[in-house]
Amino acid sequence: MRLPIQILAPLFVLFFSLPGSLRADDWPQWLGPQHDSVWRETGILAKFPTNGPSIRWRTPIGAGYSGPAVAAGRVYVMDRLLAKDANNPANPFERGIIRGTERVLCLDEATGRILWQHEYDCPYTISYPAGPRATPVVRDGKVYTLGAEGTLLCLDTRDGRVIWSHDYKKDYGIVTPMWGFSANPLLDGQRLICVVGGTNTTAVAFDKDDGHEIWHALSSKEPGYCAPAIFSAGGKRQLIVWHPQAVNSLNPDTGEVYWSEPCNIRSGMTIPTPRKLDDFLYLTCFYNGSLMLRLDPAKPAATVVWQSKKVSEMDTDALHCTMNTPFLEDGHIYGVCSYGQLRCLKADTGERLWETLQATTPDGKKMRWANAFLVKNGDRFFLFNEKGDLIIAHLSPQGYDEISRAHLLKPTNTAAGRDVLWSHPAFANRHIYARNDQEIIAADLSAP
């Protein structure tokens, strides 16, 4: 029997509006598919059920700050296992030699079952020694990982076989930074671009397939912890590398330096990823605060528009982010300041419009390094805070408007005398993938 068009048309619309036809994406690297903290999937819930989102699976893992990456039906994450007779110090700032191993884990995205693991000996000499920091990068059958002591690996996604590797300390004579090697590698075409450190090797590009060095550039007293980023401006693709002595623009193909803007970042705390909005390039850090540059539209060059006048994490102006990468849109900046204040600034002047502690601290009191990670989805944000709460909220120049909140994971690390969770989650397949020092979970965020 042939159905009339009056019936077929609505059925056709219904079919293509079903969840299976909605947009679904992977999260194969730091800050997502386009490296911009935007989750572009559709079919996402408007608010959480009374008991929170359903947990699809839980898998026990070791400790670490490394966020997960999700690609082609698999989840990749790094962790650390202490040696049987080893313990982390009670004071996380204390440094010594702590024996243990780092692991790269590959899990089945549907079930959380560990498909393979690559484990290697890795004594730690760092402050806050919970585990690895960097998020894996996945593309074309390879996963690239960076350990806290500078072990750079390229592994086969099928079985974890090592394709190539580098040791920053052995290969480049670099001393491990106080908080370990943390700058997420950036995959750009044939190049895996890394912040290594040292003289003429602060930025190094490796061939993604065999690991040979393509170019090296820049010198610094210490590498800092900031992931490199690539933006187009002045008719060129510009690689932005921010280390504690300067923010730099390079040709990502050759390592040629286009421009440098000197800075002197206290305690080497270049951490948040630089963000671009129109012709603005924005950087922020814990002590020194904000720096806003204007990128020349005609050539690779930059000038200072405004910057924080106070080098203080307590008496702040503008925005002093610790580990939160801010979000810029519609002429405004949203980010978490040094004591947990979620703030909104005018991008062109740095003027503060509002601040709130509602998203970060449980009792509305300022807390040193209190944090939430910001990811945009549609017209709202998902904020994952250090207490393990996932929040849906609208952020606008008018203020913070919380829509829904659910507790996903308990904080299992310690900082400033409290329990914290400082690992950036991944959003893919209409799920959130989040970890603490004991487990990694997948929680369903699809609309009913």
Query: Which candidate, 273, 274, 263, places its Cα nearest to that of 307?
Result: 263
Q: Please say if the pLDDT value at position 9 is more than 60.
A: no
Domains 31-60+324-448 and 63-182 in one fold: yes
Q: Where do runs of H (alpha helix) occur along 111-262?
A: 168-172
Summarize pLDDT for 369-425 with one digit per residue, the tens.
999 999 999 999 999 999 999 999 999 999 999 999 999 999 999 988 899 999 999
Spatial contact of 147 and 122, defined as CB atoms under 8 Å apart = yes
The share of the chain scoring above pLDDT 90, in percent, equals 89
Reduced to 3 states, what is the DSSP secondary structure of residue 157?
coil
Fold of 31-60+324-448: Thrombin, subunit H (2.40.10)
Spatial contact of 134 and 102, defined as CB atoms under 8 Å apart = no
Q: What residue segments make up the domains of the chain, in order of their start?
A: 31-60+324-448, 63-182
Structure tokens at 248: 């730099």
Q: How far apart are CA 327 and CA 350, in angstroms?
A: 14
Q: How far apart are CA 201 and CA 197, in angstroms?
A: 6
Q: What is the mean pLDDT of residues 108-122?
A: 98
Residue 42's pLDDT band, with cuts at 50, 70 and 90, is very high
Question: How many C-beta atoms lie closer than 10 Å to residue 279's C-beta?
Answer: 14
Sign for the CA dihedral angle at 324, 201, 212, 79 comes to negative
Fold of 63-182: Thrombin, subunit H (2.40.10)
Instruction: Provide the β-strand partners of residue 195.
Output: 203
Which residues does 179 contact at the CB level (< 8 Å), separation at least 6? 126, 127, 128, 133, 225
Per-residue confidence (pLDDT) for residue 90, from 0 to 100? 86
Summarize pLDDT for 210-234 with one digit per residue, the tens.
999 999 999 999 999 999 999 999 9
Instruction: Provide the β-strand partners of residue 152.
Output: 146, 166
Spatial contact of 130 and 65, defined as CB atoms under 8 Å apart = yes
Q: How far apart are CA 370 and CA 360, in angstroms?
A: 6
| Mean pLDDT of the residues in the chain | 94
Query: Which candidate, 77, 311, 66, places its Cα nearest to that of 180?
Result: 66
Query: Which candidate, 108, 28, 34, places its Cα nearest to that of 68?
Result: 28
Spatial contact of 353 and 397, defined as CB atoms under 8 Å apart = yes
Q: Please say if the pLDDT value at position 8 is more than 70.
A: no
Q: Please say if the pLDDT value at position 165 is more than 90.
A: yes
Dihedral (C-alpha) 89, 95, 100, 102: value to the nearest 10 degrees?
110
E strands present in 279-364:
280-285, 289-295, 302-307, 327-329, 332-336, 342-346, 352-356
